[in-house]
Amino acid sequence: MNTAAAAFTVSLEFSAVRSAARLDLRLEFRERVFACMSHEEFVHPWQYEQHGPVPRLSPPWERYAFPVLKVHDSRWLASFSDSQILDVELPEVIHYRFVTLDHTADVLASGEVHASWVPVDR
């Protein structure tokens, strides 16, 4: 078990949604993060590009995408050169996408990701 501090952390504040549980999701990327980007609503470069169905939440949120996604055949990952991500590292890199009500964040990482639900006092 790796007990080192996270190299990069993403927190999804589900507790801020009205009538939601007082829990937030914390994801800790503990090994290698190659790149990350965050875009406000409606400005993500691939917002309207889909290569298949996107997983959706269940009612009453069925209009919304599942908040934690793995992107397959990532255009963003493909845009990196061998001097940025080595060919031997490439098979291990995963493109994660986090979708919130007003932001979309993307992370390119390899290695262990630790997820935990964090109680919030609000």
In one-letter notation, the amino acid at residue 2 is: N
Query: Looking at the domain assignment, is residue 1 inside a domain?
Result: no
Instruction: Write phi, then psi, for 54 (nearest 5 degrees).
Output: -95, 130
CA angle 48–56–16, rounded 5-degree value: 95
48 CA to centre of own chain: 17
Query: Looking at the domain assignment, is residue 2 inside a domain?
Result: no
Which range of residues forms the domain containing residue 36?
9-45+54-119
How many domains, the chain?
Answer: 1
* Predicted confidence (pLDDT) per residue in 19-78, tens digit: 778 899 999 998 899 999 988 876 666 665 566 677 888 888 788 778 898 998 888 999
pTM of the model: 0.81
DSSP assignment, residue 64? S
Residue 11 three-state SS: strand
